[in-house]
Structure 1
Amino acid sequence: MNGVQVREDGPVRRVTLNRPETRNALTLDDLRDLREAFTVGEDVRAVVLDAAGERAFCAGMNVDVFLALDSEAEARAFIDGLRELLHTVRTAPVTTVCAIDGYCLGAAFELVLACDLRVATTRAAFGLPEIKLGIPSVVDAALLQQYVGLSSAKEIILTGDPYPAASLAGICTAVVEPAELGPRVDELLAKVTGHTRTVLAAQKRLFETWQNTGLADGAVASVDEFASTFAAPETREQLAGYRAALGSRR
């Protein structure tokens, strides 16, 4: 069974982790397929990542992947591949949304942190259990302290324990009952898919710039991005449409 399923739903690409019998644990092929799924064309305005089954969103990497790493070189090649996937997700030129139900652990938690928006259910829990396996939490686990603060990030990483979504304020856009997960995600999609591809790409580039530079450099990049959006005809069209909508409300 293919562990990653992709379908197009109008301007939304829906990506589903689909190996519920193993709690959607990730394989090397899954990392490749996810990277392809988050590489989007001009007609896509958002990507939604969800998972099959109720036991777990994703248990992280399949432990067999780690057991198969026989050398430092193989370990480096694996983690570099994961880093490339997370970079692709984080810098995707569209809004990325995660719908999380059940346990979200390890590499899956990093994948979720790399996305823009997260909606979780009341039975969702997040954790980075790598330290229990004798390996460190790395790559986009570095983002965790920005969501929960350094003290809580250290607790989550050093204990390796799962924490209920409701206890991790700042990570999720919303925490809802399981039956409300799909409708809440669709509400978010309705708000973000009407934006132009030009502005989505510009805003996503700025998020990455702000993440990796100081205030002064970020402000300079902001000026450049603002000016360059006016080179796209769709910017003028969007402005005119917005102005017309305002006029119709008077």
Structure 2
Amino acid sequence: MEQNAYIKTAITDKIATITFYSAASNSFPSFLLDELTTAITQLNTKTEVTTVILQSEGTGAFCAGASFDELLAIQDKVTGKKFFSGFANVINAIRKSPKIFIGRIHGKTVGGGVGLAASCDYCFATAQASIKLSELAIGIGPFVIEPAVSRKIGKTAFTSMSLMAHEWKTASWAHQQGLYDEVYDSIERMDLEVTSFAKKISSYNPEALSEMKKIFWEGTAHWDVLLAERAEISGRLVLSDFTVRALNAFKNK
């Protein structure tokens, strides 16, 4: 288990803030994905909380996606599916939560991190928050997060991101496509706006917010099954010789 990786939840009035961290550019080992899912689900019992801010620590990357070390350690399809189901579980937990999720994307984000941003109901970002779906470059694909990302930016933009697996898309591009709702030049300015927005949202009728959340996510009831099927595809492909070679090459750069 990676040392110094954690999930923290803080609640002030009607606003919960979930913060994740790992030393490897805020990438996710499986235990951290499980803890994030638990943290999100536990907030469902906090009826006073209507609004959740999802953020990561530091001023570098927002999220580097899946842990490369753990990907390399996968030895069979069952373990592979279980690992990728971690991202599926987080996305589904946000989808099913009656709370409004606000993404605070302070820096670059890759793969599963893009999926997290896409799962939020409203996203703030900085101009440094470039995005990339690098999965094809390592022999797999952004299968699990695709429904969440396509829901936000559409299939055409998702196709462009997926095939340009070595290229960063700017925060401005992500804003134009609808992944980010607002983009600011600095973390300080973004944080002022996140705080102001969260306070406004948390002042609204909780029942109305919950009913709106259902509307935001209409047509996704099948995602429990769909994302599990996608996790199985990723779990199979991660065992390929292509992926093992690519992961080792990336790791040894």
Unaligned residue ranges in structure 1 (runs of 5+): 214-250
Question: TM (normalized to structure 1)?
Answer: 0.79
- Hey, what's the Cα distance between the residues in 1 that align with 2:84 and 2:154? 25
The residue that corresponds to 2:63 in the other structure is 58
The residue that corresponds to 1:163 in the other structure is 169
Does structure 1 conserve the Cα–Cα contact (< 8 Å) formed by 2:119 and 2:149?
A: no
The letter of the residue matching 1:199 is A
The residue that corresponds to 1:148 in the other structure is 153
| 2:201 aligned with 1:188 | no
- Hey, what's the Cα distance between the residues in 2 that align with 1:3 and 1:132? 28
Does structure 1 conserve the Cα–Cα contact (< 8 Å) formed by 2:126 and 2:185?
A: yes
Aligned to 2:37, the other structure's residue is in SS state helix
| 2:16 aligned with 1:8 | no
Question: TM (normalized to structure 2)?
Answer: 0.78
Map 1:1-250 onto structure 2 (within 5 A).
1-19=4-22, 21-39=23-41, 40=43, 41-160=46-165, 161-168=167-174, 169=176, 170-178=178-186, 179-211=188-220
Q: CA deviation at 1:211?
A: 4.6
Aligned to 1:96, the other structure's residue is in SS state strand
Q: CA deviation at 1:12?
A: 0.9
Q: CA deviation at 1:164?
A: 1.0
- Hey, what's the Cα distance between the residues in 1 that align with 2:221 and 2:28? 28
- Hey, what's the Cα distance between the residues in 2 that align with 1:149 and 1:110? 13
Does structure 2 conserve the Cα–Cα contact (< 8 Å) formed by 1:3 and 1:24?
A: no
- Hey, what's the Cα distance between the residues in 2 that align with 1:50 and 1:59? 13
- Hey, what's the Cα distance between the residues in 2 that align with 1:149 and 1:68? 33
- Hey, what's the Cα distance between the residues in 1 that align with 2:125 and 2:208? 27
Does structure 1 conserve the Cα–Cα contact (< 8 Å) formed by 2:117 and 2:179?
A: no
- Hey, what's the Cα distance between the residues in 1 that align with 2:219 and 2:81? 28
The letter of the residue matching 2:120 is C
Aligned to 2:54, the other structure's residue is in SS state strand
Instruction: Tell me: higher relative CO, structure 1 or 2? Use CA pairs within 8 A at least 6 residues apart.
Output: 2
- Hey, what's the Cα distance between the residues in 2 that align with 1:88 and 1:211? 12
Aligned to 1:17, the other structure's residue is in SS state strand
Instruction: Report the CA distance shift for 1:116/1:54 in structure 2 as closer, same or farther (over 3 A).
Output: same
The letter of the residue matching 1:188 is F
What do residues 48-105 of structure 1 show as CA deviations (whole Å, max 9, x unaligned)?
A: 0111111101111111121121111211222223212210012211110011111111
Aligned to 1:132, the other structure's residue is in SS state helix
- Hey, what's the Cα distance between the residues in 2 that align with 1:136 and 1:172? 22
CA-atom RMSD in angstroms? 1.7
Instruction: Report the CA distance shift for 1:73/1:210 in structure 2 as closer, same or farther (over 3 A).
Output: closer
Larger Rg: 1
